[in-house]
Amino acid sequence: MSDATTLSDAVSSIEETANRKTNLETVDEKVSTAERRVERLSSDLDDLADAIEELQFYRRILADAFDGDVPAAVHSALEDAKNAAATDRDALVEQLRDESTTALQADIEDTTDSVEHATRRVKKRLNDQYWSKWDERISSAQELQEIIGVHNTEFANTIKEIERYIKKHMRDPEENASNVVSGWQKVTEQWEQHQDLQGMSAFQETHGLSDEAVSVVQQLSQDWVTLAEVELNVLDELKDIPDLEAAVTLEI
């Protein structure tokens, strides 16, 4: 074998090795790019899953705790999410090979935005139609308790529990929706058992109080009332109500 042939073979071998190294480096680069794309897709899907979980929580609170109508946007968003997460493995591999996952990422991000928008709609409906009204009921019940004195400890505890559900449990997607709903049903059953203590209007209706008697009761929450200021018929009304016994302070 001549030196020329040997040199030529050596050059060819070096070129072949260099080409293999270049190809391997290109493959490694593509693999790294694909891994980054997969990580990004995985992160986007995690964000979508979190958004769906939050939406489902508030949807359950609206539908199951209050029997409220769920906005159409919720059903549309959940259907979009189902479609966005339905890309099969082969299709994903093909997109990674073609380095064309941008459209899939955009679709997932748009779907996440849609789910979050639906969540805001549900929370607004909860607040406007249910939470705010329960805030008013709680306030009325607490005011009545202050007026007549907290004799009914059971109902006072029920008011606090109702308030915890409205202000805390129902606003925390980290909680289990089924547990929140079942707990809410129990505490509202306790609430209904004390209808006469839910506010001054209910108290007046239950005990058949006149407007004059109610006016006296409301004055008692601020100061004392002299005997001369109260009609005898009003006194007769008040003395027949055990819940007012400690609240009525009259001076001759």
pLDDT at 135: 93
Segment (H or E) for 220: helix 211-220
Q: What tokens were used for 155?
A: 């109902």
CA 86 to chain CA centroid, Å, is 26
Segment (H or E) for 225: strand 225-226
pLDDT at 50: 92
Kindly report which listed range (32-36, 111-115, 212-216, 223-227) carries the lowest average pLDDT score. Answer: 223-227
Kindly report which listed range (152-166, 193-207, 210-224) carries the lowest average pLDDT score. Answer: 210-224
pLDDT at 36: 72
pLDDT at 35: 67
pLDDT at 121: 95
pLDDT at 252: 42
Instruction: Compute the distance between CA of residue 100 and CA of residue 98 in angstroms, rounded to an integer.
Output: 5
Count CA atoms closer than 13 A to 117's CA, side-chain side.
14
Average pLDDT, the chain: 77
- The residue with greater pLDDT, 111 or 25, is 111
Indicate whether 150 pLDDT > 50. yes
Indicate whether 94 pLDDT > 90. no
pLDDT at 220: 60
Q: What tokens were used for 145?
A: 């308790």
3-state SS, residue 114: helix
Indicate whether 60 pLDDT > 70. yes
Residue 170: which residues within 8 A CB-CB, separation 6 or more? Answer: 61, 65, 126, 131, 180, 184
Closest CA to 14 of 6, 1, 3, 28: 6
CB atoms within 10 A of CB 62: 23
Instruction: Compute the distance between CA of residue 155 and CA of residue 193 in angstroms, rounded to an integer.
Output: 9
- With a pLDDT cut of 70, the percent of the chain lying above it is 60
* One-letter amino acid for residue 234 of the chain: V
Question: Which segment, 102-116, 166-180, 204-218, is predicted with the most confidence on average?
Answer: 166-180
Whether residue 186 contacts residue 157, with contact meaning beta carbons closer than 8 Å, is answered with no
Question: How far, CA to CA in Å, does 191 sit from each of 48, 108, 112?
Answer: 38, 44, 38
Kindly report which listed range (23-32, 97-106, 115-124, 206-215) carries the lowest average pLDDT score. Answer: 23-32
Indicate whether 243 pLDDT > 70. no
Q: What tokens were used for 76?
A: 């549309």
Whether residue 71 contacts residue 65, with contact meaning beta carbons closer than 8 Å, is answered with no
